[in-house]
Structure formats: C-alpha cells, structure tokens
A and B are shown apart, each in its own frame.
Chain A
Amino acid sequence: MSEIFGIPTQALFGQLLIGLINGSFYALLSLGLAVIFGLLNIINFAHGAQYMMGAFCAWFLLNKLGLGYGWALLITPPVVGASGIVIERLMLSRLYKLDHLYGFLLTFGLALILQGLFRQEFGSSGLPYPIPNALQGGQNLGFMFLPNYRAWVVVASLTVCIATWFLIEKTRLGAYLRAATENPQLVQAFGINVPRMIMLTYGFGVALAALAGVMAAPIYSVNPLMGENLIIVVFAVVVIGGMGSIMGSIVTGFMLGLVEGLTKVFYPEASNTVIFVIMAIVLMIRPAGLFGAQK
C-alpha cells in the first residue's frame, strides 16, 4: 500500500472526506452569519444558540409530536426563524444605528440566556436523536465506510449554500437586499419596505442555523452546549473568509474542514487550534479576509 508521510493513502482519503463533512457544517453556519453580517451589519453571536435550538426543535417534534426527521427539516427552520424575527423586531432593530459592538453584546447575552435556560431544563449530557431509517447504514467505498447520513449532509449543505449564494448575488430580490444595506433611504424611496426586508433576512439567517441544527442532531447528541463549542470556530471561518462575503464563507467553511481533518491525522493535539492559527496568519496578510473587499 502506498503511503504519504507514513499515512496510508487510503486512510488519507477517508480523513479528507470526513474533513469535507465537518466543512459542510462550518459552511452552513458561517453562511448564515455572513448573510446577517453582510446585510444587517450585526455580528450575530446568538447563532450557536439558534443552531442548538434547531436541534432541540427536531428533538421535540420527534419525541412530543411523533414527527420524524423529514418534518423536522421542514418545520424547524421557519419556527426557529420566527423566534429570530421576534428578537429582531423587539431588540436588534433598535441597534442598527449604533456601533457593531452593541449588536454583538446583545446577541452574546441572548446566547448565554438561551443556553442557560436549555441547560436548566435538559441538563448537560444531551439527548439522543436517532438517524432516520431511510438514511441508516452506509456505503463501503473501499478506503472507508461512508455513512449514508453523512453523505446526505454534504449534499444538502452544498445545495443550500449554492442556492443561498444564487439568491443573494444573482436574483432581483438579492439585488434589493444588497442595495438596501448600502443605502436604505434611497431603496425605501423606490417603494420597498426596507425594515421588513431586513427583518426577513435576519429570520432567514437564523433559519439556516436551525437547519444546520436539525442536520447535526443525529450526529452529535442534542446538547444545550453544542453551539457554544462550535460558534467560535465558525466565527474564525467567517473572519478568514472575509466578513460578509457569502462565497467566501462557503469556500472557507469547506476548506477549513479539510485542513482540520488533515491536522487530526498528523498532529491530533493541535486540531482544535489549527483554525485559529490560520486565522491569525490570514489577518496579518489580508486583514479583510481571503474573499473580503479591502476597504
């Protein structure tokens, strides 16, 4: 068997594939963050908590209402997105004129409160959520065993990412949105309801986090702290990709998943710091991020 740096190539392929799977979560979460930041100028620190709420919503649907994974995919994003809209209307909308820092502090506080409430109610070791029957089992690819569910996660995440990018960068609606953030008064003068559009955008960003939460539920246990652990990494992804850049966050998400996967093979102890090392280097060379516009 051929080897690269003492690692059999087959094992290496497997690790790359796993990196890609983790990358899909990074991409999906950082996409929501990038949409919200790009269009609202809000650093949404509650994103991790909203991702966690998505997973809990799926758990509720299954255990209290008997609705399975497919329903959870359909119902959860609008429900959690609606909770985001409430937050936007009641709180965030008052902060748009202020510095980024206020939005950051508000959402950070919200994240702590949400996590605290869920932990109080459900404890910290997490709740089980089974992999849906249709996606159980897996394929033997020769170099590794690929669980069907993980394959589905990669495909679904890629599809959602590309659809979102298309919606914002290539459609008329997206053009309105982008224009509204550049110059809200002018867009409003054309008869477009800008506050409502911004409200729906926040709701959409939150719904993306919730969708990621539903997809994560069968893989990681449904745990009040699941977002807390992930959100910092996802922020690093957004910063590396360039704050607010949609394509940047998608590409960086998948790319960093791969880099992290490789680190887990060659030096596992560093696997949770490697992303921050990359972030530091990128910030030194390109302060606006890999895909961000230099200002």
Chain B
Amino acid sequence: MNWKRSFYAAAVFALATSPTYAQISDGVIKIGVMNDQSGTYADLAGPGSVVAARMAVEDFGAAKKGMKVEVVVADHQNKPEVGSSIARQWYDVDKVDAIVDVPTSSVALAVNQITREKNKVLIVSTGATVDLTGKSCSPNTIHWTYDTWSLANGTGNAVVKNGGDSWFFLTADYAFGHSLEQQTEAVVLKNGGKVMGKVRHPFPSSDMSSFLLQAQTSKAKIIGLANAGADTINAIKQGAEFGIVKSGQQFAGLLVFLTDVHSLGLNVAQGLLLTESFYWDLNDQTRAFSKRFAKLHKGAMPTMGQVGVYSGVLHYLKAIEALKSDQGDKVVAKMKELPTDDAVFGKGWVRQDGRKIHNMYLFEVKKPAESKGAWDYYKLRGTIPAEQAFRPEKEGGCSLVK
C-alpha cells in the first residue's frame, strides 16, 4: 500500500544564462530524478540519488560555465502508471529535459517508451532489467550502473566456480525478479550446474520462512535470491534463524546493496557473495567522493545506484557542453561518442545499444571481527573487467546495433 504523494522540490544552481548556449530549449537544463522516495527502495536510491545529482551539477561547474541547471524530484511509488504520468507531466508541462535513476524495472520500461516518444533523455541507474539495452533499447536511453545480466554473470559465475552447482531460486514475482532469475539460471546451466527448483513469492513479502523451508527441502547447495531490498533482507535474516547456512546451504544475493547489508548487520550477512559496480572503499577517489556524499546524506555511504546517478548526470552535462544543444537523441549520441571519466567508476564508455560500460566487482561481506566499524562491510573478491562485465552487444537483439 502506498499513500504517498509525489512531490516536487527544485533547486536552482546557476542563474546566469549565456548566449553560448542559445540552443538549449527555454534556456534551462532541467533534470528530473524519479525514484521511490519513501517505500521499499527509498534507502538504496531515494533522496540519496537527489544528493548525488546535485553533487554532479556542482562538480560539473555549471554556474561557472554559464549554464543554468535545475534538479527536480518525484516519487513514482514503484508503480508504472504513476511513473508514466509524472514523465508526461514533466516533459509536456514542466520542460524537463532528462529523467534519471528510475528503480523498479516495470516503471523504467514505461518511462523508456515515453522518453523516446518525446525525444528527451533517460538515464537509468537503479532500474535493473537488461531489456533496456535489448529488445526495448532506444536512441534516447542509456542504462548506466548495472543490469540483471551483469549481476547474474558476476555472482552466478563466481558461485558455480566455487562449487555451488545446484540452485534453488527465491524470486520476486514481477518483471525484475523474473529477468534476474532467467539470466542467472542461464549462467548456472552454462557452467554445468543444475536448478533444483524455484518459488515465486509475492512482492513485497515480509515472511519468507515458508519459502525458505521449501528451499531447504530441495537440498540445493545454493539458494539464489532473485529479489531486492526488504525482501532480500528478510530472506537472509530468516534464513539465519532457520539454520539454512549452518546446515550447509548458502545464499547467493543476486542484487544486494550496501544499505541492505547495513540493515542486516554483519552477524547475519557475513560471507554473502554479491556483485556491485561500486563500493565506497575501492580507491582514494571513491573514498573522497563517498565522504563528501555522506556529509550531505545523514552519514550514509552511497550505493551503486546513487553514484550511478552522479556519474550519469555529469556525463550528460558534459555532452550538452560539447554539443551546445539539449535535443534528446543528439545528446545521447554525443554521450556515446565521448568517453566517460569520473571519480566513482573511473574511465568507461557508452555502447551503441545504450549500455554504459565499466568494471563490476565481486564482493564478500566481512565477518564482524574484520570490520572496522559502520559501513566497513565488503572484501573485494574479484574484479570483472569492463569488457566482460556486460552482455555482449550482439546478443541483446537491440535494433540500434548494426
């Protein structure tokens, strides 16, 4: 149940307009952060993504360059129909030029369609479905941070290679869960593993014990969690209670965010393998960025979804600067042409199908004794190089790839 109202909060960062940017429609570049501001996915994206978008505008130096950039916010409540009507309102009435973030795959797919119709720009950071660069790919959309294929590939491969060759899936019963389950199953089978069973639970579900018991009865070595947010948290927490790990079965979290681990606590989460494209403690640059972010966001370190918003907005503004226009398809084409480089993902690029490419990382959650304190949660287990981290362009069936 959601009784939230979408709301708008605007911040103007620069007031001067300059004749250099005469091609910018109505003189202002307006970026809309659309996500779940108060529900299940609010901690892993939510207000933190807005902080990230504002940091990008500041770091780009819009004010100094004489560009007027504004960030607006809306809550899509994880409902496609709410997201669609906000997108139309934004594009038609409020003169928004680009929408960013958009968790919840079903909403991301709906906004993807509208953005293409209106020739604007969509940068998806927290939405996960790999269809955004496959059969639903668009000349107006870039999929920035991760997708179901890269998550499945990272965690699935690593787990099967470590001997976890029989799987049972606990899947959230909607587009995202199905996609994640399907991608992971393919990886497991390709590596010679087998799938012993699966159960699709309603989204969201607070009690997982019954499904966990089914997973236990299956005798599979690995219980793959094709869900996210509170569902994943509850499954792992209740799994510990039912002695899943003690009796020799292991969880594989297919989409786990830093904020989920924070909520679980290391006692319960220790040993979990997971794939992310970002962790605050990777190098000096990520540490410096994350500390700045934490100061602006109640001391919480950023998730990969939130830094994806930062990185995407920064690159979007760079493309507009180079192009001196904000016309949707042209800006996206420019974004594909320019290489990307920023503090969070380092160097990377954007493919023709709209897939942003960078390294992915395999992490293991630390034991309580190994952690130095709050947010010190991950050990790096392996780096998946950019070239192998995402689905090969040819396999996606995107019509933009020739």
Residue of A nearest to B1 (CB): A228
- Is A195 close to B, CB under 8 A? no
User: Is there an interface contact between B234 and A15, defined as CB atoms closer than 8 Å?
Assistant: no
Q: Is A138 in the interface zone, CB < 8 Å from B?
A: yes
Q: Across the interface, which residues of A come within 8 angstroms of B242, CB to CB? A: 138, 145, 147
Asked if B342 is at the interface (CB within 8 A of a chain A CB), the reply is no
Residues of B within 8 A of A22 (CB): 207, 209
Contact of B214 among A119, A125, A265 (CB under 8 A): A265
Q: Mark A2-16, 1 if CB is under 8 A from B, else 0.
A: 000000101100110
Contact in complex: B43, A221 (CB < 8 Å)? no
Chain B hits for A165, CB < 8 A: none
Q: Does B29 contact A (CB under 8 A)?
A: no
Q: How far is the CA of A119 from the CA of B75 in the complex (A)?
A: 15
Which residues does chain A contribute within 8 Å of B260, judged by CB atoms? 125
By a CB distance below 8 angstroms, the chain B residues around A147 are 241-243
Q: Given known contacts A18-B213, A19-B210, what 18 new A-B pairs fall within 8 Å (CB)?
A: A11-B217, A15-B213, A123-B259, A124-B46, A124-B230, A125-B44, A125-B233, A126-B233, A128-B237, A219-B241, A229-B206, A232-B1, A264-B211, A265-B214, A271-B201, A271-B202, A271-B210, A273-B202
Residues of A in contact with B (beta carbons under 8 Å apart): 8, 10-11, 14-15, 18-19, 21-22, 112, 116, 119, 123-128, 130-131, 138, 144-145, 147, 149-150, 218-221, 223, 225-226, 228-230, 232, 261, 264-265, 268-269, 271-273
B238 at the interface (CB under 8 A from A): yes
- Within the assembled complex, what's the spacing in Å between the Cα atoms of A264 and B204? 14
CA of A272 to CA of B205 in the docked complex: distance in angstroms? 8
Nearest opposing residue in chain A for B213, CB measure: A14
Q: A147-B243, A269-B173 are in contact. Are A126 and B213 (CB under 8 A)?
A: no
Report how many residues on chain B are interfacial, defined by Cβ distance under 8 Å: 45
Contact (Cβ within 8 A) A123 B241: no
Select which of A112, A138, A232 is within 8 A of B3 by beta carbon.
A112
B335 within 8 A of A: no
Give the complex CA separation of A123 and B229 in angstroms. Answer: 12
Q: Which of B230, B233, B264, B300 has the most CB of A within 10 A?
A: B230
From known contacts A126-B233, A128-B263, A221-B230, infer whether A226 and B206 are also in contact, taking CB-CB under 8 Å. Answer: yes
Given A138-B242, A145-B216, A221-B233: A268 in contact with B211 (beta carbons within 8 A) = yes
B268 CB-CB contact with A under 8 Å: yes
Contact with A220, one of B234, B247, B300 (Cβ below 8 angstroms): B234
Q: Once the chains bind, are A272 and B214 in contact (CB under 8 Å)?
A: no
Known: A125-B229, A219-B238, A221-B237. A119 touches B38 (CB 8 A): yes
Asked if A220 and B217 make an inter-chain contact with CB atoms under 8 angstroms apart, the answer reads: no
